[in-house]
Amino acid sequence: MRTLLLIGLLCSIGGTVRAQARVPARAGTAAMDCRACHTSATPTKNSPALAACPRLKITGYHAVDEAPPTLTLGRDGATYGAVIFAHRAHAHMAETGKGCNGCHHYDQARPIQKCKNCHAVSRQREDLGKPDLKAAMHRQCLDCHREWNPAGSCATCHVKAGSAAAKGAVAPVAGASVAGAPVAGASAAGAPVAAPRKATVVAPQRVVYETGAKEGKTVTFFHADHTGRFALACAACHQNESCRGCHDRKLLSGDRTVLARQTAKGLTDEQAHVRCAACHAKDECSTCHKGMSTKTIGFDHGRRTGFALNRFHAPLTCKQCHTAPGAFGRINASCESCHKGWQAKFAHARTGLTLDEQHKDVECAGCHEDKTFRDRPVCGSCHTDKTWPAQKPGTAAGRPAVKR
């Protein structure tokens, strides 16, 4: 009898242990396969692999410039006030990182949902696997800002409750410039102004890379040319990068005119040139790879193309003349190709010379035989006793200012 009772007791204890080992499903969370929302079986924080959300009826994507310049996040509390967030400034740089869905998740297209539609306002919520509204907002901001500004505090973004700023005089704008300028797009009167908490990014003129190439180990990248003259957006080269790449305070110290960089090791030729290949795939290696740093100016239009830019063309960006998509290529250099019917309305005084009565009705090609207006005018076709510039066909005129 004692043996039977002992066996029964052991069975009872075993059943209890097994029952305790079972973890009940999390309350408020429906059982579903991860692939219902993710295209990968192993999504991560940096690569969430989000699939299109079937709950949203997308009516179209909006341009970044349509985004509101600022947003008020949160509400006034006992210690701190709300945050004026420089939304448009962040949106412009989103393409260099995770895109709009870095913050908006599924909801990067119209209609834009409010955060509280998915994240509970109260800390007391059914689904503990999803952060509440306050936690979600702080997590989004801190993940990036702690990377490049580890010394940041609550006051970096929030104003103190009861202060003049909290009462509407001036509120710090999270993500605006440190100079205290109004956020782009905000009204001048009472516009939120930046608090001095973020280092201003100064773009370098040149970046000198030391590569692992057998010949021509040094590559000088003319950053100012690509962003200014070539008018490339940051996202044209910078992809899947964190804010720290540009905003890290350690990287912003000292002279940033010329930056020295080592290329990553273990890269294939294709990986090492992927950023440049879209425009430079047909260029010779020696175009970029040199034995030493290139200290001269970047792109010299006259030397590289044979067409030296005059004072009217030099201030223009490349895209204003090279309108075809893709890499910049050779175009028709004749004036007529861009300036249709220009001769009928051209005032020669713009060149600094007002033509005299004998020359004002002469065809342009009569003096400018090259028809490109880059060579010196020719007088010998009509005059055997006159040469340029000893005898000019007119009088000097003041040059008008170049419109930029």
pLDDT tens-digit readout, 56-82: 555 666 777 888 888 888 777 778 888
CA-to-CA dists, residue 94 to 195, 209, 227, angstroms = 22, 26, 17
H/E segment holding residue 244: helix 244-247
Residue for token digits 């020669």? 348
pLDDT tens-digit readout, 243-253: 777 777 666 56
Given a contact cutoff of 8 angstroms between Cβ atoms, the answer to whether 193 and 181 are in contact is: yes
CA-to-CA dists, residue 53 to 32, 109, 115, angstroms = 14, 11, 16
**Is the pLDDT higher at 403 or at 149?**
149
Structure confidence at residue 188 as a pLDDT band (50, 70, 90): very low
pLDDT tens-digit readout, 175-186: 443 333 333 333
Listed in order, strand segments (DSSP E) in 27-77 are 71-73
pLDDT the model gives residue 32: 59
What domains can you pick out in the chain, each with its CATH number? 64-198 (3.90.10.10), 206-305 (no CATH), 333-404 (no CATH)
**Phi first, then psi: what are they for 110, rounded to 5°?**
-65, 145
Structure confidence at residue 29 as a pLDDT band (50, 70, 90): very low
Structure confidence at residue 55 as a pLDDT band (50, 70, 90): low
d(CA 268, CA 248): 28
- By C-alpha distance, which of 156, 323, 169 is closest to 231? 323
* pLDDT of 287 higher than 70: yes
Structure confidence at residue 26 as a pLDDT band (50, 70, 90): very low
* Mean pLDDT on 215-226: 89
Using CB atoms within 10 Å of the CB of residue 207, give its burial: 0 to 12 exposed, 13 to 18 middle, 19+ buried.
Answer: middle
Q: Distance between terminal CA atoms of the chain?
A: 105
Residues 58, 243, 147, 267, Cα dihedral to 10°: 110
Choose the most confident range, by mean pLDDT, from 157-171, 217-231, 283-297, 317-331.
217-231
